[in-house]
Structure 1
Amino acid sequence: MYFKSTTVSGLFDSTQRHFIIPVYQRAYSWETEQLDVFLNDLKEQIQGGNNYFLGNILLETIIKDVEYEVIDGQQRLTTLMIFFRAMISVLASRQKTEEVDIDLQIKAYIYLKAGGNIKLRPVEYDRACFDAVIIDGKSGFEPATPSQVRIKKAKGHFIKELVKLPTDTLLKLFDKLERTDITAIELQNKKDSALMFELQNNRGKDLTNMERLKSYFMYQMYVYSPEEETNINIEYVSNVFKMIYLIINDLNTLTEDNVLNYHCQAYVKGYSYRKIEDIKEVLLASKDKIKWIKDFINELHTSFTNIKKMERSNLSYLKDLRKLTIPGFVYPFVIKGYKYLGSDEESLNQLYHILEIVVFRYRLINSRADLISRLNEILGAFKGDLEKLRMNFKNKFNDAWYWGDFRIKQYLDGYMYNSRVLSYLLWKYENSIQNRGYHIGSVKITDEQIEHISPQTPTNGDAIESGYDTNADRKYEQPFLDEYLNCLGNLMLISPSHNASIGNDPFSDKVESYNDNPLLKQQAEIKTFVDPSTPFKWDMAAIDRRHVRIVDGFAVKKWDFDSINIGEPVLN
């Protein structure tokens, strides 16, 4: 281990020295907030005479004085490179109109690229972007990953802020940064790297849980491995995390720590898992710690791989889950599902069907009762048997009452306006009635709204128009307000423009507009619920007929666990 106190200029000022960020490290992650802190700190420093200290960086020596892997400090080094590119670009633009006392070609040679030696090589999947945007200073590169977006955005942000400053201030900033102190700790092998990185973590560095876990496992390999196997075991951990980080950069909906949490809920402590200490507790209780770590990280890699598969899947019930918004408790079931069901899409879709019913009930009821503790036993028992899973959910939900069949019917019969599942339910109802023989082609309504067929009481004091169940004063009686106005039988999907055009119109005008422009079947079928003897009257009896059709004839059956026939083709 070698401690080298130097400056930013001293760190970079070599024609051969370059730094590589290994792919098992995380990609560039700084956002505008961190960039502003960096720049504001630098601005403060030029007001005084003290040297600025950028902190320690940990380097593993690959070739002495030539090639180093960055173990810790990759975010700061990458930001330095981006800042130097932004500064050089802004000053080069100034040189076109004023005299700027700085040799930018030499600065680019020192900090960006010396001949063919690029001074910093980021993780492999970001190098094309980094070379184009930072090393070559191009602006037309189209980023393909979140970290590439951040690299390009960081350069743009620095340029935007630097162009606001006078040239003499830019030169002072450049000089201050070059003379900024930095300590490079050079380590000779993976064993020393694992030990030092774990010590760094214990000093409270702001790392993700995945980074903390990686360094912890590498350190445990250092502690428990036989001397002759230490380096190879540490290398094993770094190689698996290398594969995991390649996947992380492709994820769009979940963070690395999200997936880690869901994996540990699936396999470590169920939903009671909270933090890395829970993993440490299980590891320390194991007899063969080396094997336990290897098994854990291989399973973790599999979970990341399967979450990536999930993100790219378009199975029908998975798309439904996305429309409902997938709560966190679903992902551990998905992780275990992929493990036991493999690539069997029919079985996976049946798993998603079961989970769609679970989530629909959860969203519909919106109870304060603790659902997660009731799911823990079901999650622990799930090993790919979908029929057992279906029955476990059915029995547990009915035993718990809160999300059981009786409670579902109770909620569907009650006040449904503003329900979190209302639009989803009505779209599913629309799909079901179109499948009964009336098909109007591809239907898409942007920002759909909920129409009260019997309109809500006008807020401007006007009376309710004709054709509705009102008293002699054209007002709703309290029983209607309590039981009918906001029930499913009186609620319908409609486009915003259509909704605005009819408002508090008489029912005769409304039903005519529904018939003239039947964008949805549920609009066209309204007339079928009306008593033929009073075709322009939308009363409680008509609402009852429609309500029974939607609730008893459709919703109760659709979101019943008995609607799933495991092993039969999935219909949606």
Structure 2
Amino acid sequence: MKGSENNILDFMSVGTRYYIPCYQRPYSWTEEQCRILFDDIVQIHEQHEHDPNSRASHFIGSIVCQQTMGDNSGYLIIDGQQRLTTMYLFYLALSRHAEERSQSNDAIADAELKKKLSKLSQLISLRILEDESNETLDGTSHHRFELTKQDQEAMDKLYDGNPDAYIATSQLTKNYTLLYKLIGAEENLSLSELFRITKNVLFIEIKLDAYDDAQLIFESLNSKGLELSEGDKVRNYVLMGFNQNEIEHYYHEWWLPIERNCKNQASEFIQYYLAIKLGKSPSMKVLYVNFKNFVVASGLSKLDILKDLLAYSKLFACIQDCSYELPANVDTELSSAERSTLQSEIEQSLRRLKYLKYTVRTPFIIQGMMLHKQKQISGHELLASLKIIETFLIRRWVCGVPSHGLNRLFQSLAGLSRNVSETSGLVPEGSFTANLMRVMGTNDNSSKMPKDNEFKQALLTRDLYTNKSRSAAALIYLMERLENAESREQIAIFEALEQQNAAYSVEHIMPQNLSKDWRAELGPDADKIHKTWLHRLANLTLTAYNSKYSNNSFAEKRSMEHGFGSSPLRLNQQIAKYEHWSPAEMEQRAEELVAKALRIWPYPQV
């Protein structure tokens, strides 16, 4: 390893080819960051103008490059790719301006100046942009600076110079366009001066040979630019150490599918993965360190780790998409219709759990799916475990049991499930859910499932309405189940909310602000009744017409257009059968809803 000060102009002019490894994230500098860098470059000249004896410069941090195996002239950019790519765009825009001005038809333009501009354009192309030592068979040159495949197409279009073909959505195109405009608008510096001044853009160059531990060096740096996520660090750790050809293969064959499955949540997925493997979830701040320690302790090769991550990421995607396909070699005793029904019920449960917004259950569900894929539990037992989790979470929410212990609970459950997976063969039917209930059946506040009496009392008397996001989602979930669970004719409430086709929300039958009509209907104890019943389950329902109901009287809410009487929701049709809305009606409705809730979420008997 060699470290020394260098300047950006000399660094990019030595005839070396630089490659951005495929595992690096796409180019992502913002236009604001590019504008700041350009202003910093211009300021170097301004400082020198103010004091000709000053050594004005701009420091951009460190750049780490590693010699590619078997290629003495090629280097991988391990750290600093965002800054280097931006400087390449700067030189490309500068060269384009010089070329265009040298070919201008402006009769006033000085012929000697045009000649100098032509030479400047050629100089930038030959010294920085092109690699003539690697010409293709048709005589065209390679770029000296090679990006990842997802960025290279946009860069090629910019290099070709046909604006109509530019990829407008690419951040490369946006930043090139900005730099081109900034250079064109610069009045105090000539193009030649802008070129020369980049010799004062300084950085610390760290060169590694092909056998240096690039990841170790990478970890110790505190570079300027955009901070890497923990998922970025894990990706780099897994892929570094392979030669360039292997990196390309492993990235496209394994890591890219993992990232696609994670949908920009790679860090969260790694956290869930470690929760399964370790039985505990490290905090996001130390996720990468814990992942490294796990890999070392496991003794697995990095290829084996990639294969394992891919397998688990597919199940993570199932949870995110609320989709699950029964493995062809599992549950083979079921008919085609039975398999279809089972798969649909699993997917419906995943959708409901997603809407509950308790992501702590994810590691356990992933591991449950893995056990099913490995033919160690049946599909019906997987479904039973999902329904137990639904019951567990909604009963705790209704009863107001604090959620702070849930993270640790589901991590330990995931660890127990992993231990099952390390045994061989099918576990006895019912034992998986029995183990689940053994943990949830304790009286410990962090893991207990409220019994029927506690659940019933809370449904009757607790205030369930709140503006808090998770509680609001739980209440919608509760109302959706009360509407749909016992009916073959389903109202697509979750789907409508996800697609924003219908703004279903919780409606207070007796409104939050009492009108004169409501006070008259409730009588002399109106305020007491209002305070007692307002946010209880008995006074709540679902509607897509909340704003139209407003503070209208009960009779108006019942008979108006889109009112309770004409609502497609069975919850509202039941309300419409009442002539008045008083404590007597609310007590009757409460008992009916509680009886239904106990049928929908029975205390599991396993």
TM-score of the aligned structures, taking structure 2 as reference length: 0.71
Report the AA paired with residue 24 of structure 2. Q
Residue aligned with 2:518, SS: coil
Shift of 1:492: 1.5
Return the offset for 1:198: 1.0
Find the partner of 2:78 among 53, 71, 75.
71
Report matched runs for 1:8-19 at 5 Å.
8-13=8-13, 17-19=16-18
Question: Is 1:119 aligned to residue 149 of structure 2?
Answer: no
Inter-CA distance 133–471: structure 2 relative to 1 (3 Å threshold) = farther
1:262 aligned residue (253, 267, 272): 272
Distance 1:63 1:47, change over 3 A: farther
Q: Between the two proteins, what is the percent identity of the paired residues?
A: 18
Give runs of aligned pairs for residues 338-377 of structure 1, distance below 5 A.
338-342=369-373, 346=379, 352-361=386-395, 364=398, 365=400, 367=402, 369-377=404-412
Q: Please tell me whether residue 465 in structure 1 is matched to residue 465 in structure 2.
A: no
Q: Which aligned pairs between 1:552-571 and structure 2 lie closer than 5 A?
A: 552-553=595-596, 555-560=597-602, 562=604
CA distances 1:140-189 after superposition (whole Å, capped 9, x unpaired)? 6668xxxx8554554466567x3895343584555433553456555442
Q: Which residue of 2 aligns with 1:488?
A: 537
Alignment of 1:48 with 2:47, yes or no, is: yes
1:512 Cα offset (Å): 0.6
Does 1:404 find its partner at 2:422?
no
Residue 218 of structure 1, CA deviation: 8.2
Q: Compute the RMSD of aligned alpha carbons.
A: 4.4
Output aligned runs, 1:445-464, within 5 Å. Answer: 446-458=502-514, 462-464=515-517
The question of whether the paired residues in 2 share the 8 Å contact of 1:57 and 1:70 is answered with yes
The question of whether the paired residues in 2 share the 8 Å contact of 1:451 and 1:499 is answered with yes
Distance in 2, matches of 1:393 and 1:125, equals: 45
**Structure 1 length-normalised TM:** 0.74
Aligned twin of 2:437: 394
1:201: which partner in 2?
Answer: 219
Contact 1:113 1:135 (8 Å CA) reproduced: no
- The offset of 1:308, in angstroms, is 4.1
**Cα 1:22–1:464 shift into 2, 3 Å:** same
Please list the CA deviations of residues 115-161 of structure 1 after superposition, one character each: whole Å capped at 9, or x if unmatched. 43123322234433443356656476668xxxx8554554466567x
Distance 2:492 2:206 in 1: 70
Q: How does 1:437-452 map to 2 (within 5 A)?
A: 446-452=502-508
- Conservation of the 8 A alpha-carbon contact between 1:210 and 1:260: yes
Matched, 1:538 2:581: yes
Aligned length: 523
2: CA distance between counterparts of 1:376 and 1:394? 15
Instruction: Note closer, same or farther for the CA distance 1:423–1:128 as it changes in structure 2 (3 Å cut).
Output: same
Aligned pair partner of 1:59 in 45, 57, 66: 66
Distance 1:96 1:446 in 2: 61
Q: What code does the residue aligned with 1:540 have? A: P
The 3 A distance-change label for structure 1 pair 169 and 424 is farther
Q: Is the 8 A contact 1:61 1:68 kept in 2?
A: yes
Structure 2 residues without counterparts, runs of 5 or longer: 49-55, 132-139, 324-346, 422-426
1:483-507 CA deviation, whole Å, 9 max, x = no partner?
A: 4222112112222xx3333322222
8 Å CA contact 2:280, 2:408 repeated in 1: no
Q: CA deviation at 1:250?
A: 2.4
Q: CA deviation at 1:381?
A: 0.8
Match of 1:569 in 2: none
Structure-1 separation of matches of 2:431 and 2:158: 54
Compared CA separation, residues 182 and 466, structure 1 to 2 (3 A):
closer
* TM-aligned CA deviation for residue 267 of structure 1: 0.4
Which residue type is aligned with residue 217 of structure 2?
L
The answer to whether residue 357 in structure 2 is matched with residue 321 in structure 1 is: no
The 2-side partners of 1:62 and 1:446 are apart by: 58
Tell me the distance in 1 between the aligned counterparts of 2:492 and 2:403: 40
C-alpha contact 1:454 1:490 (8 A) present in aligned 2: yes
Aligned partners of 2:157 and 2:166 also within 8 Å: yes
SS in 2 for 1:57: strand
2:413 is matched with 378
For residues 262-301 of structure 1, what are the structure 2 equivalents within 5 Å? 262-271=272-281, 274-279=286-291, 286=297, 291=300, 295-301=304-310
- Residues 124-139 of structure 1: pairs in structure 2 closer than 5 A: 124-132=149-157, 136=161, 138=163
Letter in 2 for 1:511: R
Give the superposition deviation at 1:336: 2.2
Alpha-carbon offset, residue 423 of structure 1: 1.9
Q: Provide the residue aligned with 1:331 in structure 2.
A: 362
Any stretches of 5+ residues in structure 1 without a counterpart?
Answer: 222-230, 566-572
**1:457 partner letter:** N
Paired amino acid for 1:378:
L
Query: Is the 8 Å Cα contact of residues 316 and 366 (structure 2) preserved in structure 1?
Result: yes
Q: Tell me which of 275, 292, 304 is aligned to 2:313.
A: 304
Q: SS at 2:66's partner residue?
A: strand
